[in-house]
A and B are shown apart, each in its own frame.
Chain A
Amino acid sequence: MASDSSPANFNGPTSPDDSYSSPIGNTFSSPGDARRRSRRRSTTPSAFATPPPNQSRFATSDANPALTPTPSSRRGGRRGGRRATSTTPVNAAATPTSTDDAPASSEGGEGYDADDARPTFVWGTNISVEDVNEAIYRFLKHFRDSSTASQSEDGLLREGKYEIAIKRVIEIEGESLDVNARDVFDYDPDLYTKMVRYPLEVLAIFDIVLMNMVGRINPLFEKHIQTRIFNLKSSTSMRNLNPSDVERMVSLKGMIIRSSSIIPEIREAIFRCLVCGYYSDPVVINRGQITEPKICLKEECQARDSMTLVHNRCRFTDKQIVKLQETPDEIPEGGTPHTVSLLMHDKLVDTGKPGDRVEVTGIYRAMTVRVGPAQRTVKSLFKTYIDCLHIKKTDKSRMLAEDPMDVDNPTGRNVEDISFDKEKVEQLKELSKLPDIYDRLTRSLAPNIWELDDVKKGLLCQLFGGNALKLASGASFRGDINILLVGDPGTSKSQLLQYIHKLSPRGIYTSGRGSSAVGLTAYVAKDPETGETVLESGALVLSDRGICCIDEFDKMSDNARSMLHEVMEQQTVSIAKAGIIASLNARTSVLACANPSGSRYNPRLSVIDNIHLPPTLLSRFDLIYLLLDKADEQTDRRLAKHIVALHFENPESLEQDVLDLSTLTAYVSYARKHIHPQLSDEAAEELTQGYVELRRRGNFPGSSKKVITATPRQIESLIRLSEALARIRFSEWVEKSDVMEAFRLLEVAMQQSATDHSTGTIDMDLITTGVSASERMRRENVLSAIRSIIMEKMQLGGPSMRLLELLEELKKQSPGPEVHLHDLRNAVSTLASEGFVSLHGDTVKRV
């Protein structure tokens, strides 16, 4: 079997003194014929391609006139490459066959012969080893991050990014160098194309060049360093892998579902003669097989069939087969997820566990299915797998090997690590330019929830958020917008909440009834194993930089609710218990929803009475929406129309130009990450004016009572809202229109929530103190009336009066609005606090 075989695809490590092993050499160990076959196959597509123009460059060095210029150009290139990299070991990709070359091993020669049998102008037309060699060298030597290079003039004098990286690898005696494929593309798109198209060949050269450079930096460095390519420009969907991808470099996202046990794969075997004890030279694996020497090679012995394998002197490498499955979002409707096998080697073994979401860069390969283990008959089927080069866990976005580049990457610090490829960004920017993007986003938000457009607009602002501001003095202003939805049952509050929870970049959904104070903030627990006290984060801390959705807010215990005060304004959670004093960040937006106190909104009661939440907490919400199920024929009709249309009309006409969930998420995350709008002068002016106007509105002519219509908290809210609105447009400046829309939103929310039911004006006092201005005036009237009654009827130290008598008296004197005992009692207790009267139970006594 071995005799006819084959291109020792992997003869790098054959000689023991040769420390340079082929980087992807181990990948060749998979059934050898697969590689050869598939390589040949890979060439066929280009078989009909026209030769590239550069062939003439090598025409002069044509060694074999019988061949067409094309192959010779390749051959010439090869020779050149060989010269340039004369120190490199023989490698399959760079194996020269020309007789005038260095003595190649017979296997290597044969391998080339096999290659030669292919149609002549093949991949060689595209790859000249010399060119690639130089291109790679240039890249490794000279590539600099555009950002660092432009920083200063002496950027040119500094070492290239990968030179530094190589030095670091040498320092830490690492085994691999991570190369960002985007860097390659930026530096030399041609090289990138070649690398993706012919990864086996180019990577082999890459390693050779790399080892050359390593050798120059530190000649004593013995370890082999492998190149690991990652971050390809485009990643393929597993579903779209097709025969034309075979032998190309691909990048896939998926979830690991199964990994095999580690398989030790033999690389070199050493045999010992049982007769004379002679140890053979290491025998290299060949097409997945080791040939046992038939005869003892020692001249004196030459015993037949005496050789036995010495296990502990053989060299093994680790190998693992991992199954990767499509992530759920890539599966089309009515399909099941696809899986693909990954072949992992050495360091990559066990880097991913089942359940991990990873991004894998590797070479897609196909392997014939052999009928039997020792048979060469192949079926007409192929098994495909991916030879893994690099694996990246996408959820943590950390490189497998500590990526030195990533550490000092300034953008690497960003917490929200959603990466956007250029196309996507372009697409999003296109979207943002649409004139109706605001409405379109509003429509796309929970499209199945019908109406409630203004609520949705508010929620949209919450998703985008304002800018957080930290002053040098240490004062900080939150950028997060808090929203409270109060409404009748069945007004789809919870659905809105669920939707936002799904959409927000990081969000926690809790129900008020099931949440305790510590569950929301943080709690101290004893670690069961070590006995140490540890701090466990609660929902609010966990949703840092996200949205914390709290359902059933009204059913929350007061204790738990009071914890929210700090979070909602200071955005921290302070803990002082069990010896731990800490302040944790909780930069979260709160989206809460509550039922009115009587489960249905009672329009006769004030909002505060309906919501039944402490005013202190209420004022911390930027927007409070009342979702009332009004018995309004107009809304009923619209609902009826909507449902009739649902049943009888084409569904396509119902939902038009609505963004799908993933686009919406991407849009939001991109805006949150990259857009930081600032107030323009015009907008600031508008803001000031509007605020003044808002405050003045209480003083309408003819009214003596002072109604505070807006508080400084509102102006902060307004700024946040206008910033969020600018973000929606991907605009770096807050325009006047944003401010106007913010005012409108606030007004819509306030008119619903802060309408004083006796005057009809906006009354922020209702929110801040729970008492409306007109109510306060009425109370004062009652108070003064009682004061005069008491002055009239009672003497100092005289007999006491019962409250009911007082009420009778009051009714007699002021026949105006009805006064309740409850109001009276309030008034009397105010008087009592003034020291005017004393109140014992039901009796009032003047003192």
Chain B
Amino acid sequence: MVGLAYDLLANPQGAVRSTFEKAVASSGLDFDPASLDGKDWGALHLFRQFLFDQTHLSQVPILNGETVKWVQPNTLVRFRGMIQDMLGNEFYVGAFKDGDVWRTNKFMDVSHFPMPMASTSSSHMRVWERRLLYCVPVPGRNSWTEPSSESLVNRCVDCSSQQREKRRRMDDESVDHMDMLVSDEGFQGSPSTKKMKENGHPSMSSQTKEPINEGICSHMSTVPSIDSESLPCLVKIYDSPESDLKLNDVFEFIGVLTFDSEVSMDKDDQDELSNGFSEDVLVHLPPNKVPRLHCLIHRKLTVPDFLHSSPIMEPRPHVVREIRETLLRHLTAVLGDDSVAAHFMLLHLLSRVHTRVENLAVGKLSLNLTGFSKESVSLFGHRLSLAVKDLLPVTHSIPLTVEYLNSSSLAPIKDYETNRLITGVLQLAEGSHLIIDETQLKAGTLNSVGVDNTRLLKNLMELQKVEYDFKYYKMEMAADVQLLIISEGKSNILPADIVIPFQPTSADSSEVVAAEALEAWRWYLATVKSLPHSIESEMQKVVENDLVEARQSDRSIGSQDFNRWLTMGRLMSVSFGENCLSLEHWQMVKELERLRRERLK
């Protein structure tokens, strides 16, 4: 504890409080709490320094279904997730006067000091607001993106045991405080209070027992019903502009974990009025299922962040070229020695929407591999999906059958009863990969749901947009999903940008992929994908001439084809790690396109 009054990992709230007190003290007697409205008083700076400048970030445990069992409340944790729903704003008493001293409630659920009774004491308090975000682990995330938790566990147990003493004192204090309040009220003779003390209070009683029960596991009782597979988290965001955090964005939130025990009591509360007003949502998100995280620092995650052992490499041309070659070989092997398809596959894996102009999503490159039969699907389809899974962090696959279309809910739907957005299959994080297997589609009748679902898929394909169903109206949300369609003939339901007949020549693939190679490929795909790109004016002329020429010779070529070629050109040169389209790569694109056209004939 040199230099810092509090351990930032184990007692972040202490740091928040002490910085607040410092800020109050520094402004002297005429401290105006309004000056801190929506502002930070230096606490965040402290954390930033600690986490990033002093690189303590890795010591912060990642909250997931596993770690939640032993992570202590009121400690610093990280949560990586996608914003699935936004639950609006919450007003809370940000700062209040306890006697003569200003206290703050920022970054905590429950006040650690007796709050002035609303009906009795002075009016010195400030109301601040915070945003509630409902976050879930990124849907479709592949297991290799999880950091190996083993090392972290050890580290965290270490550091938490050091701090156990202190924290226990803290806990005691707050529990005592709560007890005091409860008993105060209890004397007023309301039967419901007593009842609550007995029944509705499992979490608190477990907390009270904690000092007796030795060991960290005592907290298991607080979180009995968490599905360890997918742990959602209610993140509370402070003082951050609204445009920072958008729906479906993937973020890492670093903040204080709390199990908001008071709300759990609230839900037994049958008071008509408060139920009517309460956000409803919280009732459906009991804290023992959904932990709360008071976010101190949040940062947007991109694909490279998911590579845990990311080798810090400069995307040097020859390295990139090498990796590209091996990856292409790998894809060719996966695709049964069909190198043309492998080339397209590579471009497809690198595609992303980089610009939107009106209704046009520039940069998408959906791929339709045709010519699959029942047999080849079971072999190649499976192999392909495994390969994609190994390469990209977030993947999904949809078996397109009539039953599936008729029954599944692809689009998220707003449920006004619970005031929640019920997620759908197509609520996907940016950069997800989606394989749609159309070979299983048989003749059948679509009901209205099915028709809607096909329309959704088509919209996603053509516009990269998903319509969210808000019951009284629909709202389009931009998406960025790589779509791969496997079908017998050209898919008419889902018109892809590139249709290519798949022509495997060998069926066996005995290739064993080395772990290092996988790592390199993942790094390659993640890094190269986000490279900036431009075009020189000379090359622009060449491209334009080629386009005009093509159109002069064949009137059926339209802007769609132009778009496809240019996207391919961009991706081709990006795949070599280059920032500028060169003639060589443009020729390659034209050659690829020629080969493809030949196959289509």
Give chain A's interface residues, CB within 8 Å of chain B. 1, 4-6, 30-31, 33, 36-37, 40-41, 43-45, 48, 117-119, 239, 241-243, 246, 255, 257-258, 260, 263, 288, 321, 323, 325, 328, 331-339, 341, 354-355, 366-385, 447-448, 490, 629, 631, 633, 636-637, 639-641, 643-644, 646-648, 651, 654-655
Contacts of A369 in B (CB 8 A): 266, 274, 278
B416 at the interface (CB under 8 A from A): yes
Contacts of B92 in A (CB 8 A): 380-382
Contacts of B182 in A (CB 8 A): 371, 375, 377
What's the minimum C-beta distance from A229 to chain B, rounded to whole angstroms? 23
| Interface pair B552/A380, CB less than 8 Å apart | no
Interface mask (B353-388 → A, CB under 8 Å = 1, otherwise 0): 001111110110000000000000000000000000
Q: A647-B362, A648-B533 are in contact. Are A336 and B124 (CB under 8 A)?
A: no
Interface mask (B22-49 → A, CB under 8 Å = 1, otherwise 0): 0000000000101001000000000000
| Interface pair B563/A643, CB less than 8 Å apart | yes
| Interface pair A119/B272, CB less than 8 Å apart | no
| Interface pair B185/A372, CB less than 8 Å apart | yes
Return the chain A residue nearest B249 by Cβ.
A334
What's the minimum C-beta distance from A234 to chain B, rounded to whole angstroms? 20
What's the minimum C-beta distance from A324 to chain B, rounded to whole angstroms? 11
CA distance A448 to B277 in the complex (A): 45
| Interface pair A637/B91, CB less than 8 Å apart | no
Q: In the complex, which residues 68-112 of chain B have their Cβ closer than 8 Å to any Cβ of chain A?
A: 85-86, 88-93, 105, 109-111
| Interface pair A641/B544, CB less than 8 Å apart | yes
| Interface pair B358/A448, CB less than 8 Å apart | yes
| Interface pair B552/A633, CB less than 8 Å apart | yes
CA distance A258 to B472 in the complex (A): 11
Interface mask (B239-274 → A, CB under 8 Å = 1, otherwise 0): 000110011110000000000001001100111111
| Interface pair A636/B548, CB less than 8 Å apart | yes
What's the minimum C-beta distance from B516 to chain A, rounded to whole angstroms? 35
Interface mask (B119-149 → A, CB under 8 Å = 1, otherwise 0): 1001111111100000000000000000000
Contacts of A384 in B (CB 8 A): 91, 277
Contacts of B277 in A (CB 8 A): 321, 341, 367, 383-385
CA distance A372 to B359 in the complex (A): 52
CA distance A636 to B547 in the complex (A): 8
| Interface pair B276/A321, CB less than 8 Å apart | yes
| Interface pair B473/A328, CB less than 8 Å apart | yes
Contacts of A341 in B (CB 8 A): 276-277
Q: A332-B242, A377-B182 are in contact. Are A33 and B118 (CB under 8 A)?
A: yes
Contacts of A335 in B (CB 8 A): 86, 242, 246-247
Known: A375-B185, A631-B555. 13 other contacts (CB 8 A): A1-B188, A41-B127, A243-B128, A321-B276, A332-B243, A369-B274, A370-B271, A372-B190, A372-B193, A374-B190, A375-B188, A382-B127, A383-B278
CA distance A379 to B272 in the complex (A): 18
CA distance A339 to B280 in the complex (A): 11
Return the chain A residue nearest B547 by Cβ.
A640
What's the minimum C-beta distance from A374 to chain B, rounded to whole angstroms? 3
What's the minimum C-beta distance from B276 to chain A, rounded to whole angstroms? 4
Return the chain A residue nearest B246 by Cβ.
A334
What's the minimum C-beta distance from A361 to chain B, rounded to whole angstroms? 19
| Interface pair B192/A6, CB less than 8 Å apart | no
Contacts of A640 in B (CB 8 A): 543-544, 547-548, 551, 562
| Interface pair A41/B123, CB less than 8 Å apart | yes
| Interface pair A371/B570, CB less than 8 Å apart | no
Q: A257-B471, A381-B92 are in contact. Are A336 and B421 (CB under 8 A)?
A: yes
What's the minimum C-beta distance from B454 to chain A, rounded to whole angstroms? 20
| Interface pair A644/B543, CB less than 8 Å apart | yes
| Interface pair A380/B111, CB less than 8 Å apart | yes
| Interface pair B278/A629, CB less than 8 Å apart | no
Give me the 7 closest cross-chain CB pairs, A-B, nearest first.
A334-B246, A448-B358, A374-B190, A640-B547, A321-B276, A382-B91, A40-B123
Contacts of A379 in B (CB 8 A): 109-110, 262
B419 at the interface (CB under 8 A from A): yes
30 contacts between A and B (CB under 8 A): A4-B119, A41-B127, A44-B124, A45-B34, A118-B123, A242-B89, A243-B128, A246-B91, A263-B276, A321-B276, A328-B475, A332-B243, A334-B243, A334-B477, A335-B246, A335-B247, A341-B276, A372-B185, A373-B269, A378-B117, A378-B118, A379-B109, A379-B262, A380-B109, A380-B111, A448-B357, A631-B552, A636-B551, A643-B562, A646-B566
Return the chain B residue nearest A384 by Cβ.
B91
B540 at the interface (CB under 8 A from A): yes
CA distance A637 to B542 in the complex (A): 12
| Interface pair B278/A374, CB less than 8 Å apart | no
Contacts of B570 in A (CB 8 A): 647-648
Contacts of A448 in B (CB 8 A): 357-360
What's the minimum C-beta distance from B313 to chain A, rounded to whole angstroms? 26
Count residues of chain B with CB under 8 A from any CB of chain A. 94
| Interface pair A336/B86, CB less than 8 Å apart | yes
B404 at the interface (CB under 8 A from A): no
CA distance A328 to B414 in the complex (A): 13
CA distance A88 to B112 in the complex (A): 47
Contacts of B225 in A (CB 8 A): none
Contacts of B223 in A (CB 8 A): none
CA distance A526 to B371 in the complex (A): 54
B567 at the interface (CB under 8 A from A): yes
Contacts of B115 in A (CB 8 A): 378, 380
What's the minimum C-beta distance from A264 to chain B, rounded to whole angstroms? 11
CA distance A321 to B85 in the complex (A): 23
Return the chain B residue nearest A381 by Cβ.
B92
Contacts of B279 in A (CB 8 A): 383
Contacts of A30 in B (CB 8 A): 273
Contacts of B272 in A (CB 8 A): 263
Contacts of A321 in B (CB 8 A): 273, 276-277
Return the chain B residue nearest A241 by Cβ.
B89
What's the minimum C-beta distance from B32 to chain A, rounded to whole angstroms? 7
What's the minimum C-beta distance from B495 to chain A, rounded to whole angstroms? 15
CA distance A806 to B535 in the complex (A): 69
Return the chain B residue nearest A448 by Cβ.
B358
Q: A369-B266, A647-B567 are in contact. Are A37 and B356 (CB under 8 A)?
A: no
CA distance A117 to B117 in the complex (A): 14
Contacts of A376 in B (CB 8 A): 117-119, 185
CA distance A160 to B272 in the complex (A): 44
| Interface pair B118/A37, CB less than 8 Å apart | yes
Option from A43, A339, A355, A368 in Cβ contact (under 8 Å) with B118: A368
What's the minimum C-beta distance from A366 to chain B, rounded to whole angstroms? 6
CA distance A647 to B568 in the complex (A): 11
Q: A263-B272, A644-B544, A651-B355 are in contact. Are A490 and B91 (CB under 8 A)?
A: no
B54 at the interface (CB under 8 A from A): no
Contacts of B126 in A (CB 8 A): 44, 243
CA distance A378 to B265 in the complex (A): 12
CA distance A490 to B92 in the complex (A): 57
Contacts of B88 in A (CB 8 A): 338-339
| Interface pair B188/A374, CB less than 8 Å apart | yes
Q: Which of A41, A239, A378, A648 has the most CB of B within 10 A?
A: A648
Contacts of A370 in B (CB 8 A): 271, 274
Contacts of B265 in A (CB 8 A): 371-372
CA distance A337 to B34 in the complex (A): 29
B470 at the interface (CB under 8 A from A): yes
Contacts of A242 in B (CB 8 A): 89, 129
CA distance A374 to B115 in the complex (A): 18
CA distance A6 to B119 in the complex (A): 9
| Interface pair A644/B276, CB less than 8 Å apart | no
Contacts of B547 in A (CB 8 A): 636, 639-640, 643-644
Q: Which of A257, A338, A378, A380 has the most CB of B within 10 A?
A: A380
| Interface pair A629/B555, CB less than 8 Å apart | yes
B285 at the interface (CB under 8 A from A): no
| Interface pair A644/B535, CB less than 8 Å apart | yes
What's the minimum C-beta distance from B474 to chain A, rounded to whole angstroms? 8
Contacts of A323 in B (CB 8 A): 416, 419
CA distance A538 to B184 in the complex (A): 70
